[in-house]
Structure 1
Amino acid sequence: MFRNRKKLCFTGLLLISLYTFHGIKAQSVAEEPVGLEIRESSVNAQVISHILKITNRSEQIFTGTVLLDPLSELRSLSQGEREISVAQNDSVFVAYRLIAAKDIGAGRKAIRYIILNEKKERVLARETYIDIEEREQIFFMTDDAPLMITRPEDSVRVHVTVNNSGNTYQEVTLVFNVPNLREAPAFTEMKITMAPMEQKRFIHSFIPSGNLLSSGQFSVHITAMKGREKTIFGSKTVTVQNVFTDRKYIDTNPARNLYPGQGLADNSVTLSYRQYNATSNMLQLQGGGYMNLPAGYLHLKGNIYKYNSGHTPMITNTSLMYKLEENEFTIGNVSEQTELPLFGRGAKAILSTADRRKTLTFGAVDQNFNLIGSQPWFTEYYSFYIQGALGANNSDRGMEATYIYQKNPYEKAIYNVGGLQWRSLLGKNWSIHMETHGALSSYENIPDSKFSGAAELRYRGNLPFGIALDGSGYYSDGYFPGSRKGTLSFTQGVNKRLSENTYISGSIGYNRTAPKSYAYTYTYRSENSYGNIMLSLPKLGRVTSSLYYRHQGESSPSYTSWLDEGTVSGNVRMVSHRMGWQGRWQSPNARHSLFGTLEAGFFADPLEGGRSGQAKTTLNYSFREVMIDASYQKGAYYLYEYMMAKQQHKEFNRFTSSVSINKNISKKLSFSSGINFSHDVYQGSVPSANLTANFFAKDNMAFFMNAYWYRYTFINSSNMFNVQVGVTWNFSKSQPMKGRKSKVVAQVYYDHNANNRYDDGDEPAGGYLLNIDNKAFISDEEGKVRYSLVPYGEYIVKPIQTGRWFFDRKKITAKSARTVINISLKQSGTLQGSVGYISDENSVEILPRYEGLRFIVINTDGTVVQTVVTDADGKFTTFLPMGTYTITFDTKTLPEHSECKDYTRTFTIEAGKTTVLDPFEIEVKERKINIKRFFASD
């Protein structure tokens, strides 16, 4: 019975629960009779497809509307509001296609659908979300055509267009740099925040300084950066051309950079004052300059100085040279590299073929270095010479012949010297160079003429197994009048690479000098020999090192007078042998470097016999602008060191150290300084210091100061101090032109009768812009432009910009001193065109772009005549000469999802008339529609 009661209670509770659940469900249906489910499928990055499932849970037909919330940032490609009718307990499906325009911002976007009943009352709303990824796309543009300066007082305006095609806000920074701009900052920065799909135009204005206006053209560099980190997203350079009516041809070598300071002697001038201690001073003017002439150029260089103790200024290294093609004519101080020393005041000429294969040089030299010396020219010490060369421009093959006549008052002789040089290649691996010289000399005190001679051989080549050899030998008679008289010498070198980073090399040499004279008694004699072997070691980390052996021999009788009489007689000879190591280390960032050597050996004592030790160590450390050097030597290395120590009855040793710094404080100021100290047994302690400072006031002017002090002890202590101050002017950086030049005169006129002649009825075209040799010109009131010092050759003349008057591009040839060209301007026709967009309800939604669409104009020869670009209204206007042309729409500039089917047109231009083209139709492509079909199940 108990069990029956329990079963009855359980059944009652179950019925109560079922009734309660049914009541809740009925209540839910009553509160929300319609259900909405959103199914999403992404089509591409811009189009989103939604399928809405609408369910009617009520017991009656539901009639109403489903619509997309107009506040949503995405737009529907189809009708946004749809009427629906859903039977009881049934469902319907509604498809929406939404487009995310390119200007939509990044981030999470809400999409809301609302269901209204037939009374337009809201029944329910559902939301879904999509995430728009960040898209960065930003670029900037400048005008490709150079900017023209026709009025120096006007400002230069550089236009830059920045386009933010991404979907995020961008902080944009533009930096404009005008190099060498004076009296204003060279760098200018502009900042702005740009919204997505925003385009803005920047204008940078500045007044060009005088140095920029004097140049043919200059550049403005533009750097574009984005974000707070200032990430560079582009850089461009705009060229600014100065337009002249009259200008000279300028040939500038970009590899040549005149460094301000003391300048270059060939194209600058330096004025300086130098003070030596308190008693002596010197004023000096040195430098040089070029002057282009209609044929060739002049080069004047000089060095003039005067001491306060002298009455006559010294003029040395001063000459005037005229160069035409490869020929040179020089008067003043001249020098020539021959076996006899030839330098002094005089004149010389070099005649050469155009390719410099054959040259003839001749000259006369009065061997007095002061150009205005009191001694008359060509009276005591003078020379005449002539030299011919074949293959002068070839360092491997050629020959030279030389003759020199010289009167030498010091040797009381007249020399007639002839020389022959020959050089050639032997096979592919060997080259040889031979010289022979013969001299026939007559002396005042000797009745017969004397003959002497000299010969030299140099060679280099390769043996099998990668062995390279080079060597030389020289011999001259003791009475030979050359600069190496009484010399016997030879050298031999060999090297071989063992691996990529190791090699072995060696060399030996011998030299004996014993000059003789018929006028004087020479006692000088010296003999030297050496031998070296070096082996590079494998690199260890960042350390490179090598081992070496050195032999050194020296012999001379000149040192016998240094010691007490009878101590030594004849030659004093010293032979030494040393082993050494040298190594170099450099940090990874190349800021630190260390170089050192360590060597030791012995030498045979020249006076006392036996062996004496010798050793030396050096260390060099550099860090950025600072360099530190130190060395210590124990034992003599050379005969003069040994003999100096013997005079002091001491062993030779020397210690040296130095600290130097080279610092650029700013673009205008730099300095270098050093402190040095040395000590040895002969000179004692010798401290010294030096300082150099440069101030670059302008591009072409700089001030400098050099100061030097040292102290030495010789019987008494002496302090030596000198300081030099000066200023340097650098002249034009243009290259001198050695060829012939022409003056080009162009007459620009309006050719009203179109007969290509400047006659009655025509008038000068003043203020017309044209381009000659890529230089901008503007005609004067008479319609003329002048281009001077133009090297012979061919040049292009063309208009700079299109207008109502034009002339055809032409080639001119400058081949005489004056070149006159007539430029007849003919009236052109006007071409106008435009673009338009065509779309319908099925077209993809795009953002139409009108500005920057490009068209290419081609003539009947297939030559591109012009490239035109549409303005903000999608229109373009240009001017063209009479004729038939074809214009082509550059479809690469079309917006995405668009096309132009009729993109090529042919048209005719008539003078003075306007040709208007039919608009180019840009069709927006239709969107793709995905169709989904649903079938009721049986």
Structure 2
Amino acid sequence: MVCNRKTVCSTGLSLIFLFTFTGVNAQSAAEEPVTLEIRESSVNEQIVSHILKITNRSEQPFNGTVLLDALPEIRPLSQAEREVSVAPGDSSFIAYKMVMGRDIAAGRKTVRYCVYDEKKEKVLCRETYIDIEKREHIYLLADYAPVMVFNPEDSVRIQVTVNNSGNTREEVTVVFNVPDLRGAPPFTELKETVAPREQKRFTYSFIPSGNLLSSGQFSVRVTAMKGKEKMIFGNKTVTVQNVSANRSYVDINRVRNLFPGQGSADNSLTLSYRQYNSSSNMLQLQGGGYLNLPAGYLHLKGNIYKYNSQRTPMVTNTSLTYKLYENEFTVGNVSEQTELPLYGRGMKAIFSDEKKSKTLTIGAVDQNFNLLSSEPWFANYYSFYAQGALGVNNMDRGVKATYIYQKNPYEKATYNVAGLQWRTLLGKNWNIQLEAHGSMSSYENVAGNKFSGAAEFKYNGNLSSGLNLDGSGYYSDAYFPGSRKGTVSLTQGISRKLLNDLYISGSIGYNRTAPKSYAYDYTYRSENSYGNVTLSLPKWRRISSSLYYRHQGESSPSYASYLDAEAVSGNVRMTSHRMGWQWRWQSPDVRHSLFGTLEGGFFADPLESGRSGQAKTSLNYSWQWLMIEASYQKGAYYLYEYMMAKQRNKEFTRFTSSASVNSNISKKVSLNANINFTRDVYQGNVPSANLTANYTPKDDLAFFMNAYWYRYQFINTSNVFNVQVGVTWNFSKAQPLSGKKSNLIAQMYYDYNANNRYDNGDEPARDYLLNLDNKAFISDEDGKVRYSLVPYGDYTLKPMQAGQWSFDQKKITVSSSKTKIEVPLKQSGTLRGSIRYEVGENSIEIVQRNEGFRFTISGNEGQFQQTVITDAYGRFITFLPVGEYTITLDLKTLPEHTECKEPVRNFRVKAGELNQLDPFVIEVKSRQVNVRKFFQNN
């Protein structure tokens, strides 16, 4: 093999240089007189042990020192500088034990050992590392005592504390949420950096809005999060109570949705003015309100309007209702959902049991909807009815019976109609409802009584195979006096899940209507049928879609007048079949969405032979406050569209488009605007626009404006414009109560002679805080608090906070229209206590914390309970009524590595005396110390 000479020479010189350098290093290491080796390192909780081996390689004895150089958070248990003496060729071992401070931060920490000779000259240094694991222990603290609001014009301050007991710095975000706060953002964020072993207080101040001040109390929700990811580590709810000497009962625990609250039509008043073009205008007043009574409540609602062309105002949907427990009595406009239409002036009463499972309704209606009509009540057209029901709140089983007597002048008849409804549950999966009605009628121009009837059947359920079924059927005689006379109706639905994301559903229906009358010749007849099948497809990326088939049938003789009699005779029938696809797309941030449809099919021409096509497509786009929509249809879908296009000898087409804006400009201003355009063969071009604006300057006041304009062509081009402006006053959303109520008066007084009677020598206790029914009260100048419209029942009265005068918790029974009680205040005793740490020689090093130790004081056979917390000096003080008590230290509030062997104590409080408890001893646990001995083998 032949090698390049230059390469061989270069390689040889490199090897010679490498071996020479290595030999010099080895010689230098060998010539070091002393070497230092950290032979062993062990970790035991907070104790770190290092064992040093010092070897003397010289021929002379070595005398010097070893110095530990570590961070301030790492404290040696012995001296940091230690003397060392090593004979020639011998080794010596030195053990160091160090305590890791509780406030040491996470991460790698450097520990350096340096060896010095007798002249204090550095011989060598060696380093080792201690890895401190990351320890996260952060929590949120809040005072359990409610925040008091004495002056409604003052701001409310909510304070919480974040305690970081870990060893890392934390970026903390605290979110304060005040639900229903008006005039300010409901969410407020405060951000701080909390160092290890640090406590930081977060304070949030706000002015409560009127709707919050009107309630007895409200809540502020506090959520604490850490890091950039905002991981939640704590939740607290702080209660804010409005303090008052006189307030009415407000049930804060009832479901709000069951009551039409502030802003609803039944609990507000709206005055508006409308202008129709330039020729007509209308003034309208509508709304309602509640009035709590000592027994039950009244509810008045109404709608009054008057056009400029009318002399008499129209009063509709107006009634006065009195409710007592579950019973209701109404006079005014009355309506009832029955087989015969019942609405108009009248009265009704509803009797019900406590659970509303059994009801009886009786009423009388004169079928005239205007309360101010000049026609006498119950003169020509009127009805009397009664209805009883069992199992009203039971959706599975129940029965209802109805009887109606009606005099109808338009049909020149008198009706007696009875009905029975029965529903039950078969097995676990099938609900069935049967309903039957019978009528006996007498007519002025027909001899004898006429009988007719109607029946209805409904069901729904599912099979074990996962097939869901639902259907209904209805039949009524052509002369039956109900609102669905002469009707045959059948429906059937089915659905099933095929795969995880694949569903199929379908339905069919048939309806035929051919009413008859003994008083008039009815020619109206109609027949309709439909059927559809929908297949929901699996989602693909961000798109959801489905395929469907639809059948539609329509038949009626009513369209014969649209064309010449020679062109149309008898029934006109139209049957169509269509296939379609609909889809929806949403952006990942759910801010943008698209929805579209595409379908096509055909129908048999009602007047000519052959088939005609049908097609329709639509697209809808929405983004936050903007929505745009467009659609195009070719071919008639309904008989009406077909006949209107046939009049003009054209094929039916329709194009529609619209754009709308819905924006909350601010918390007080909102705006909604729409622009629409439609063009088809019989209406031509029809543009329209509408605008709605709302301004809410206060909680109980709102202004609004509605404007609408459209233009259409019939004989001439017509423009229709109307505008409405108005104002709404919202009443209090305090929930009315239907039961009996009482006015409760509590007299607070200083019982100087301790005889439990308000007599000579006693004084009224003014400005005394107390808790009644979990609401904050403060006594007035006469020492009285007043709680009105309080439902019958039991209530708790207790002191709000500890003081020099107190009383035992009381249970008050309210069972009459007026309730008066006297509350004697007795002089309290003072309790003082503290904590004290006990640390031994081998105790684990901790950071002693004095504040935050929680104690629970209980007495009076468990009826009295109070919590106290130590301050920054480890002390607490409180006032307690005379009696025997037990105080218990909450062991969860102890610092880590501590214990208390006597957490429970008993004591007695005497009036006007100070009771000083011995300190609670907090013992610091001892650390485990391992002793090892080392020997040098000669």
* Superposed pair shares fold, TM > 0.5: yes
Q: 2:346 aligns to what?
A: 346
- In the TM superposition, what are the counterparts of 1:33-432 in structure 2 within 5 Å? 36-44=36-44, 46-55=46-55, 66-68=66-68, 73-87=73-87, 90-106=90-106, 109-113=109-113, 121-122=120-121, 124=123, 126-131=125-130, 133=132, 135-170=135-170, 172=172, 174-179=174-179, 190=190, 192-224=192-224, 233-252=233-252, 253=254, 255-256=256-257, 263-395=263-395, 396-406=397-407, 408-411=408-411, 413-425=412-424, 427-428=426-427, 429=430, 431-432=432-433
Residue 256 of structure 1 aligns to a residue in which SS?
helix
Indicate the residue corresponding to 1:934 in structure 2: 934
Shift of 1:716: 0.9
CA distance in structure 1 between the aligned counterparts of 2:351 and 2:402, rounded to whole angstroms: 15
Query: Does structure 1 conserve the Cα–Cα contact (< 8 Å) formed by 2:243 and 2:776?
Result: yes
Counterpart of 1:732? 732
Which residue of structure 2 lines up, in the alignment, with residue 825 of structure 1? Answer: 825
Deviations 1:198-229 (A, max 9, x none): 33434444444544333222333444455678
What RMSD, in angstroms, separates the aligned Cα atoms of the two structures? 3.5
SS in 2 for 1:559: helix
Q: Is 1:659 aligned with 2:651?
A: no
Q: In the alignment, what sits opposite 2:576?
A: 577
State the distance in 1 between where 2:617 and 2:29 align.
103
Are residues 141 and 504 of structure 1, via their aligned partners in 2, closer, same or farther at CA, if it must alter by over 3 Å? Answer: closer
- Farther off after superposition, 469-478 or 275-284: 469-478
Report how far residue 774 of structure 1 moved: 1.4
Q: How does 1:570-719 map to 2 (within 5 A)?
A: 571-587=570-586, 589=588, 590=590, 591-606=592-607, 609-624=608-623, 625-719=625-719
Distance 1:566 1:917, change over 3 A: same
Whole-angstrom CA distance in 2 between matches of 1:836 and 1:463: 70
How far apart, CA to CA, are the structure 1 residues paired with 2:239 and 2:402?
53
Q: Is contact 2:92-2:936 (8 Å) kept?
A: no
What does residue 920 of structure 1 align with? 920
TM-score (norm 2): 0.87
2:6 equivalent in structure 1: none
Q: CA deviation at 1:491?
A: 0.8
Task: State the Cα distance separating 1:289 from its structure 2 match.
Answer: 1.4
Corresponding letter in the other structure for 1:269: L
- In 1, distance between residues paired with 2:681 and 2:91? 115
Change in CA separation of 1:360 and 1:895 when aligned onto 2, cut-off 3 Å:
closer
- 1:699-720 CA-to-partner distances (Å, cap 9, x unmatched) read 3333222222211111111111
Say which one has the larger Rg: 1
Moved more, 866-875 or 376-385: 376-385
Q: Structure 2 CA distance, aligned partners of 1:182 and 1:680?
A: 48
Q: Deviations over 1:900-921 (max 9, x none)?
A: 2333333233333222222222
Q: Is the 8 A contact 2:36 2:126 kept in 1?
A: no
Q: C-alpha separation between the residues in 1 aligned to 2:226 and 2:468?
A: 59
Is 1:911 paired with 2:911? yes
Q: Matched residues in 1 for 2:835 and 2:630: separation?
A: 79
Q: How big is the shift at 1:488? A: 3.2
Could you tell me which residue of structure 1 aligns to residue 11 of structure 2?
none
Map Cα deviations across residues 742-768 of structure 1 (whole Å, 9 max, x no partner). Answer: 222222233344444434444332222
Paired amino acid for 2:438: H
**After the TM superposition, which residues 699-848 of structure 1 pair with which residues of structure 2 at under 5 Å, given as runs?**
699-848=699-848
- Measured after TM superposition, the shift of residue 829 of structure 1 is 2.6
| 8 Å CA contact retained: 2:270, 2:286 | yes
Q: Residue 506 of structure 1 aligns with which residue?
A: 507
Q: Which amino acid aligns with 2:880?
A: L
Q: Report the residue type matching 1:455 in the other structure.
A: A
- Paired residue secondary structure (2:644): helix
Decide whether the 8 Å contact of 1:300 with 1:320 is kept in 2: yes
Q: For 1:178 and 1:546, how far apart are their aligned partners in 2?
A: 47
Q: Which letter does structure 2 place at the counterpart of 1:909?
A: V
Deviation at 1:147, TM superposition (A): 0.9
2 CA distance for matches of 1:562 and 1:741?
67
- 1:456 correspondence with 2:478: no
Other-structure match for 2:548: 547
* Bigger mean CA offset, 174-183 vs 48-57: 174-183
Unaligned runs of 5+ in 2: 1-22
Cα pair distance change 1:543/1:192, threshold 3 Å: closer
Cα separation, 1, equivalents of 2:471 and 2:414 = 33
Does the aligned pair in 2 maintain the 1:300–1:321 contact within 8 Å?
Answer: yes
Report the Cα offset of residue 164 of structure 1.
3.3
Q: 1:350 to 1:101 in 2, by over 3 A?
A: same
- Distance verdict in 2 for CA 1:575–1:67, change over 3 Å: closer
Structure-2 change in CA distance of 1:257 and 1:80 (3 Å): farther
Decide whether aligned partners of structure 1 residues 351 and 567 sit closer, same or farther in structure 2, where only a CA change above 3 A counts.
same
CA displacement 1:308-337 (0-9 Å, x = unmatched): 233332221111111112221212222223
Aligned length: 901
SS in 2 for 1:309: coil
The answer to whether the 8 Å contact 1:476/1:484 transfers is: no
* Preserved contact between residue 260 and residue 700 of structure 1 (Cα < 8 Å): no
Task: Give the SS at the match of 2:212.
Answer: helix
Residue 36 of structure 1, CA deviation? 4.8
**Within 5 A, what are the aligned runs for 1:463-478?**
466=467, 468-478=469-479
Higher alpha-carbon deviation: 626-635 or 186-195: 186-195
SS at match of 1:690: strand
Helix, strand or coil for the counterpart of 1:43? strand
Task: Return 5+ residue gaps in structure 1 as ranges.
Answer: 1-20
User: 1:896 and 1:669 mapped to 2: Cα distance?
Assistant: 54
Write the letter of the residue equivalent to 2:459. R
Give the Cα–Cα distance (whole angstroms) in 2 for the partners of residues 27 and 706 of structure 1.
96
Counterpart for residue 526 of structure 2: 527
Question: Letter of the aligned partner of 2:266 in structure 1?
Answer: D
Cα 1:183/1:356, change in 2 over 3 Å: closer
State the distance in 2 between where 1:494 and 1:920 align: 74
Post-superposition offset of 1:124: 4.5
Could you say if the C-alpha distance between residues 390 and 546 of structure 1 is closer, same or farther in structure 2, counting changes exceeding 3 Å? Answer: same
Q: In structure 2, what is the Cα distance between the partners aligned to 1:173 and 1:537?
A: 44
- Matches of 1:359 and 1:171, distance apart in 2: 61
Summarize deviations over 1:542-568 as a string: whole Å, max 9, x none: 433233241413122x33333335554
* Distance of 1:477 and 1:711 partners within structure 2: 42
The answer (yes or no) to whether the contact 1:34–1:123 under 8 Å persists in 2 is no
Report the identity percentage: 54
C-alpha change, 1:41 and 1:862, in structure 2 (3 Å) is: farther
**In 1, are the aligned partners of 2:389 and 2:398 still within 8 Å (CA)?**
no
**Distance in 1 of aligned mates of 2:299 and 2:880:** 49
Q: Distance in 2 between matches of 1:99 and 1:481?
A: 96
Contact 1:390 1:400 in 2 (8 A): no
Whole-Å separation in 2 of the counterparts to 1:573 and 1:563? 12
Q: Which residue of 2 aligns with 1:8?
A: none
TM-score by length of 1: 0.87
Q: Secondary structure at the match of 1:905?
A: strand
1:759–1:338: structure 2 CA closer, same or farther, 3 Å change rule? same
Query: CA 1:498/1:137 → structure 2, altered by over 3 Å: closer, same or farther?
Result: closer
